[in-house]
C-alpha cells in the first residue's frame, strides 16, 4: 500500500492513448469502496482522459451503454456490476482490462470471478498488494485472468504445485512456481532502499468513498427535516440545529448504525463503504507488518471500529477515549509503543478519539495514520498526525484522510482546500464557521448528490 500502483497504471493509460490511439476504451474493475478514489485520482493526474463511471441506479444499459462509449478512454465499474451487467461489459472488446484489488477474484468458482475472466480485452492487468491471502489457488485465479491457461487448469495447478507447497513447503516446487510467475510481476516492497529514497517523509492522501443506499436515504431524510425547521428558529436555536446536523450527517457517513443507535449487535457488513475500505486498508498494512493509528471524533464510532477490526482481523485492538483512566492509557501506549513488551502482549492497531489522543502522545511505532472522520481544521488534524510523525520516527508515514463523495464531507473538504491557499486560519478553530452560512449556502453544502449513492 502506498507504493504507486494507481499512478503507475494511470501513466500506462496516458501512454497508450498517446502512442497507440486505441479504437475502444479500457475497463477498470475495482471494489465499490474505491470507485470514488479512482475517479478523483484520474481527475487529478489525467484530466485529458475521458472517463465514464458505470455505476448507480441511473447507469446506462444495453445499446445505450455501447453507444455512449464512442469518445470514452476509460470505463470505471465495480466487481458487483461485473457480474450483474455482464451482458453490457462482455459486448465490448476492451483495449485493456485492469482489476484493482485483484484479490477480489481469488475464489475462482464464484460467478463474479467467472464473469470477469470471460471479458474480452487486448491487455490484462491485475493490481494487488496481496496476491495470496490464504491459499495458493488464489494466485492461480489472478494469473488465469491475466494470462488465461498459462498455469494450466486449477486441477492441474493444484496437483503439480499446491499440495507440495502447502503441505510440505517443498523448496524445489516453490522455486518452480517463482520461475513461472516472475516474468509477469512488477513488484516493489517498502524495504527496498531505492523505494525508501523516493518516498516522501510524510505522504498525505485522501480516500474517497461513496454512500450505500441505506446511508443515502438516511442522509436525505435528515436534511429535508432540518431545512423544514431551520428558518422557524431563533439565531441561537439555528446554530444548535446546524451543529447537531453536522454530527448526525458525519455519523451517517461513518455507518448508519451510529445514527440509528443500533449498537454493536447490529449487522455492519455492506452498510458503509467507508468502513469496508478502512478494513481493507488495515488488513493490507497488517500483512506487511505495519502498525496504524485511527482517529475519530466519536466514541460510538471508536467502539464500532474496535468491534469490527477485532472480529475481522482476529487480533486485539486498542481504543483510547476521554473515559479511559490514566492507568489504562499508560498500559495501552506501552503495549503499542514499547518493543520490550512480550510479543504476545504487543498491539498494532490503535483507535483514538481526536480530543483524547490528538495531542501529547508519542506513538512512533505507527507508520500509518487514518482520519476516519474529519474535524475540518488542518491544525487539529496535523496535531493528531504528529503522534506518529515526530522525533523518533524512523519510517515514512502514510496519512489517509477519508472523504465521502456527494456529501457535506466532500463540499467542506473542497472549501478548506481552496481556503488553505489563502490562510490556514480562515476556517477558525472548529466548525462554528459553518453555522454562520446563509440558508442557501447551507442547502448547497448539505444537499446530497445522488450519483454517489448505490442503487
Same fold? 5-188, 202-452: yes
CA distances from 436 to 209, 240, 245, 411 (A): 28, 11, 14, 16
**Structure confidence at residue 133 (pLDDT):** 63
- What are the extents of the domains in the chain? 5-188, 202-452
Tell me: pLDDT of 68 over 70. Answer: yes
Against a cut of 0.85, is the pTM above it? no
pLDDT, tens digit, for every residue of 197-256?
A: 454 578 889 999 999 999 999 999 999 999 999 888 898 999 899 989 989 999 999 999
Q: What is the CATH number of domain 202-452?
A: 3.40.50.300
Average pLDDT, the chain: 86
Q: CB-side exposure of 92: number of CA atoms within 13 Å?
A: 29
CA distances from 15 to 2, 19, 20, 22, 29 (A): 22, 6, 8, 11, 20
**Structure confidence at residue 387 (pLDDT):** 84
**Structure confidence at residue 372 (pLDDT):** 95
**Structure confidence at residue 428 (pLDDT):** 43
248 closest CA partner among 300, 293, 213: 300
Residue 365 burial (C-beta neighbours within 10 Å; 0-12, 13-18, 19+): buried
446 closest CA partner among 218, 245, 254: 245
Q: 5-188 belongs to which CATH class?
A: alpha beta
Report which DSSP code applies to 146.
Answer: H
pLDDT, tens digit, for every residue of 89-111?
A: 999 999 999 999 888 888 888 88
Tell me: pLDDT of 423 over 50. Answer: no
Do the Cβ atoms of 93 and 120 come closer than 8 Å? yes
Q: Which three cell numbers stand for residue 209?
A: 468513498
The mean pLDDT of 426-432, rounded to a whole number, is: 50
CA distances from 309 to 213, 248, 284, 306, 312 (A): 23, 23, 13, 5, 5
Tell me: pLDDT of 377 over 90. Answer: no
Q: What is the helix (H) or strand (E) element at residue 320, kind and residue range?
A: strand 318-320
Q: Which three cell numbers stand for residue 302?
A: 471508536
365 closest CA partner among 400, 341, 329, 401: 341
Render 74-140 in DSSP notation, one character per residue: EEEEEHHHHHHTHHHHTTSEEEEEEEETGGGG-STTSHHHHHHHTSEEEEEEEE-S-S-SS-THHHH
441 closest CA partner among 415, 420, 421: 415
Q: Which three cell numbers stand for residue 161?
A: 504445485
Do the Cβ atoms of 243 and 431 come closer than 8 Å? yes
- Alpha-carbon gap, residue 127 to 102, rounded angstroms: 6
Q: How far is CA 446 from the centre of its chain?
A: 23
Tell me: pLDDT of 273 over 80. Answer: yes
- Alpha-carbon gap, residue 348 to 276, rounded angstroms: 19
The mean pLDDT of 437-450, rounded to a whole number, is: 86
44-53, 54-63, 400-409: segment of lowest average pLDDT: 54-63
**Structure confidence at residue 132 (pLDDT):** 74
Among all chains, which residue has been given the C-alpha cell 495470496?
132
Q: Which three cell numbers stand for residue 55?
A: 455505476
pLDDT class for 424, splitting at 50, 70, 90?
Answer: very low
Amino acid at each position: 500500500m502506498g507504493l504507486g500502483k494507481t499512478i503507475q497504471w494511470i501513466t500506462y493509460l496516458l501512454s497508450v492513448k498517446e502512442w497507440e490511439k486505441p479504437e475502444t476504451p479500457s475497463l477498470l474493475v475495482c471494489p465499490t469502496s474505491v470507485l470514488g478514489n479512482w475517479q478523483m485520482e484520474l481527475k487529478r493526474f489525467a484530466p485529458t482522459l475521458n472517463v465514464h463511471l458505470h455505476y448507480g441506479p441511473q447507469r446506462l444499459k444495453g445499446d445505450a451503454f455501447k453507444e455512449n462509449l464512442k469518445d470514452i478512454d476509460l470505463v470505471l465499474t465495480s466487481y458487483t456490476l461485473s457480474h450483474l451487467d455482464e451482458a453490457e461489459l462482455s459486448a465490448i472488446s476492451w483495449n485493456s482490462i485492469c482489476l484493482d484489488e485483484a484479490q477480489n477474484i481469488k475464489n475462482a468458482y464464484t460467478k463474479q470471478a467467472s464473469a470477469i475472466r470471460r471479458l474480452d480485452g487486448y491487455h490484462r492487468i491485475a493490481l494487488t498488494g496481496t496476491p495470496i491471502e490464504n491459499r495458493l489457488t488464489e494466485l492461480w485465479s489472478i494469473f488465469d485472468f491475466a494470462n488465461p491457461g498459462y498455469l494450466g487448469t486449477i486441477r492441474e495447478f493444484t496437483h503439480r504445485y499446491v499440495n507440495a507447497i502447502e503441505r510440505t513447503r517443498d523448496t524445489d516446487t516453490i522455486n518452480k512456481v517463482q520461475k513461472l510467475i516472475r516474468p509477469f510481476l512488477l513488484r516493489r516492497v517498502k524495504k527496498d532502499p531505492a523505494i525508501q529514497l523516493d518516498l516522501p517523509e510524510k505522504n498525505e492522501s485522501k480516500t474517497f468513498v461513496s454512500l450505500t443506499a441505506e446511508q443515502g436515504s438516511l442522509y436525505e431524510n435528515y436534511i429535508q427535516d432540518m431545512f423544514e425547521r431551520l428558518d422557524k428558529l431563533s439565531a441561537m436555536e439555528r446554530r444548535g440545529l446546524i451543529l447537531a446536523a453536522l454530527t448526525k450527517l458525519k455519523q451517517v457517513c461513518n455507518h448508519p448504525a451510529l445514527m440509528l443507535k443500533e449498537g454493536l449487535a447490529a449487522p455492519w457488513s455492506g452498510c458503509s463503504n467507508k468502513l469496508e475500505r478502512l478494513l481493507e486498508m488495515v488488513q493490507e498494512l497488517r500483512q506487511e507488518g505495519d502498525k496504524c493509528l485511527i482517529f475519530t471524533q466519536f466514541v460510538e464510532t471508536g467502539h464500532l471500529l474496535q468491534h469490527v477490526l477485532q472480529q475481522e482481523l482476529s487480533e486485539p485492538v486498542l481504543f483510547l477515549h476521554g473515559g479511559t483512566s490514566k492507568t489504562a492509557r499508560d498500559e495501552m501506549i506501552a503495549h503499542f509503543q514499547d518493543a520490550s513488551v512480550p510479543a504476545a502482549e504487543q498491539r498494532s492497531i490503535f483507535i483514538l478519539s481526536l480530543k483524547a489522543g490528538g495531542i501529547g502522545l508519542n506513538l512512533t511505532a505507527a507508520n500509518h495514520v487514518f482520519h476516519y472522520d474529519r474535524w475540518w481544521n488542518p491544525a487539529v488534524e496535523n496535531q493528531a498526525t504528529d503522534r506518529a510523525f515526530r522525533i523518533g520516527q524512523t519510517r515514512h508515514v502514510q496519512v489517509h484522510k477519508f472523504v465521502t463523495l456527494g456529501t457535506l464531507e466532500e463540499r467542506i473538504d473542497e472549501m478548506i482546500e481552496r481556503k488553505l491557499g489563502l490562510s490556514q486560519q480562515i476556517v477558525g478553530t472548529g466548525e462554528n464557521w459553518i453555522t454562520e452560512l446563509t440558508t442557501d449556502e447551507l442547502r448547497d453544502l448539505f444537499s446530497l448528490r445522488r450519483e454517489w449513492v448505490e442503487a
